[in-house]
Amino acid sequence: MKVGELFDVKGHVAFVTGAASGLGLAYAEVMAENGAKTVLADVDTGALEKEVTRLEAAGCDVEGATVDVTDADQLRAALDGAAARHGRLDAVFANAGMSSGPGFSLSPTGGIENIDSDVYRRVIDLNLTSVLRTVQFSARHMKRQRSGSIVVTGSIAGIHAESYVGYPYIATKAAVHNLVRQAATELAPFNVRINAIAPGPFLTNIRGGVMRKDPEVAKHVAETVPMGRIAKTDEIKGLALLLASPAGSFITGAVIPIDGGTTA
């Protein structure tokens, strides 16, 4: 099989949460630019419309859906609607998430005794509960069609300690990794695959884009990476396409770091 066939997603239907910026936008771009009908879902309507317009102008088959993924009814309606309009769901990226503030190595507020209960609940709701629901609502369609790939955005902070990120964040990312493993064993007999991408530091808008705006924070984080730098969002596209395409047909239940060697 030729490379073009292995990674062929032309005509596939993709759905990406948190798609208006950062890693979610990178996932949406690589799917749309390679011929998939791609639904970009995000709570930020303005940013969403801007990116959908840009991708449409580039000849991509895309549409936007304003969705608060922490609202189960909204999320279910968006996924069911995409499946109804296009007849199937081939790739769903459960990506929407948030930071829980700096970790203890960056600020005293990141210490375990200073965990804010309200922040903790918001992070759990977005980073864990909404991911579980995205998997749940997607699986219903994929089991019926007996095919599909779900890709969850985890983190290397869910694999080992990361002192520059907050406790609620690391707890949720560790949890979604095990959610992926559990769901993979259930869904495998239906030819539905689910994997987690575990990024190291990337230049995104998380925590207000602090690594792009604050050179000292960026320097501190880059020093933890063997490759000595923070990744650009485009660098996640190859792994995302692998997991969503026929090239990843025997990969399921995996948590795959993409981190410049940090977890090595």
Residues with catalytic annotation? Answer: 169
| Inter-CA distances, 134 with 73, 197, 224, 248, Å | 11, 16, 32, 20
Do 143 and 190 contact (CB within 8 A), yes or no? Answer: yes
Residue 27's nearest CA partner among 257, 245, 255, 236 is 236
Q: Which residues contact 54 (CB under 8 A, 6 or more apart)?
A: none
* Residues 6+ positions from 219 with CB-CB distance below 8 Å: none
CB 18 within 8 A of CB 24: yes
Main-chain phi, psi angles of 231, to 5 degrees: -80, 155
